[in-house]
A = this chain, B = another copy of it.
Amino acid sequence: MSAPAAAMDAPTVADIDAAAERIAGHAVYTPLLENAALNARSGGRILLKPETLQRTGSFKFRGACNFIGQLDAETRKRGVIAYSSGNHAQGVAAAAALLGAPATIVMPADAPAIKIANTRGYGATVVTYDRWRDDREAIAGALARDSGAVLVPPYDHPWTIAGQGTAGLEIADQCAALGVAPDAVLVCCGGGGLTAGIGMAIGARASGTAVHPVEPAGFDDTARSLAAGKRVANNPTARSICDALLAPIPGELTFALNRQHAAPGLAVTDDSVRAAMRYAWQVLKLVVEPGGAVALAAVLSRALATEGRTIVVVLSGGNVDPAVYCDIVGAIAPA
């Protein structure tokens, strides 16, 4: 990684506070939503943090904006590089354009076409690779060496994690404004950066609240790593519709942080994810992508107890191909 080496220490809550100041005016302070039908169905009080409404349609803009915002003008001019299944790509592309850095994004050739198109739309150069055969880190690393550009890590970097943690600060402040102390926050988890950032922020501001990472079945590396006390990888033959959450193993830094702050992990099936996307469409009127719906799926499928409890559910992103979306949502029986 060509990310500045001096910054590789774990971030602090002060870093998250600084990130919040740095990204203010660029990032959306997303609302905290509540739906009476969802409360009734769960028997609890469910508060939704829709990062689908974030700039670029996912939380990834927070980390990218915080990271690039910390590069000096000279470094920005050399450009930034990222590898991503899509949401990080869009976040980096948009943040780079705003902050004056040319961006090159290394994306899997089978990423949702809308994510590739949007990334190009933000002005970035896109280089594609084979998700199951090529080493995206090696490709991105070589590009960085050749150009002098800085790699923006998708999750395993303190600047990225601090940026994602700003969502946790907002959740804590929004809950406090409602006079609510949530029992749990459910976070969609791939490499673990959002979980780590939110875990730190909630740990500092609402220490009685559990922060559960939620993963697709077969990609529950964070849950199993937390249980094992060490990083364990997913079976490389695993597949899931949650394209945003297919990291092979927890990050080193994210895992170290999640061991301190995260409660046991939860896993949900692709079918429960599809049901959650349909529910979000039909009842919540929110567009949520598969990976962004895992935390909602955990609530709807009762992967944890909800009765009488107050639970914050992060909807982490909404970027999905229309054909994929309509295959899922079009399957709602009309009456």
Contact = CB atoms under 8 A, between A and B. Distances in A.
Contacts of A322: 281-282, 329-332, 334
Interface string A45-81: 0000010110101000000000000000000000000
Interface in A273-318: 281-288, 318
29 contacts: A28-B36, A31-B31, A33-B53, A35-B53, A50-B285, A52-B285, A53-B284, A53-B285, A57-B283, A57-B285, A114-B332, A114-B334, A114-B335, A117-B334, A281-B287, A281-B322, A281-B325, A285-B286, A285-B287, A285-B318, A287-B287, A321-B334, A322-B330, A322-B331, A325-B330, A326-B326, A326-B329, A326-B330, A330-B330
Contact of A330 (B114, B286, B323): B323
A335 B31 contact: no
A34 interface: yes
A53 B53 CA distance: 13
Interface of A: 28, 31, 33-36, 50, 52-53, 55, 57, 113-114, 116-117, 281-288, 318, 321-323, 325-326, 329-332, 334-335
Contacts of A326: 326, 329-330
A288 B286 CA distance: 9
Given A36-B55, A287-B287, A325-B329, 15 more contacts: A35-B53, A113-B334, A114-B332, A116-B335, A281-B322, A281-B325, A285-B286, A285-B288, A285-B318, A286-B286, A286-B287, A321-B334, A322-B330, A325-B330, A330-B330
Given A53-B33, A53-B285, A287-B285, A323 B334 contact: yes
| Those 5 A-B pairs whose CB atoms lie nearest each other, nearest first | A285-B318, A326-B326, A113-B335, A113-B334, A31-B31
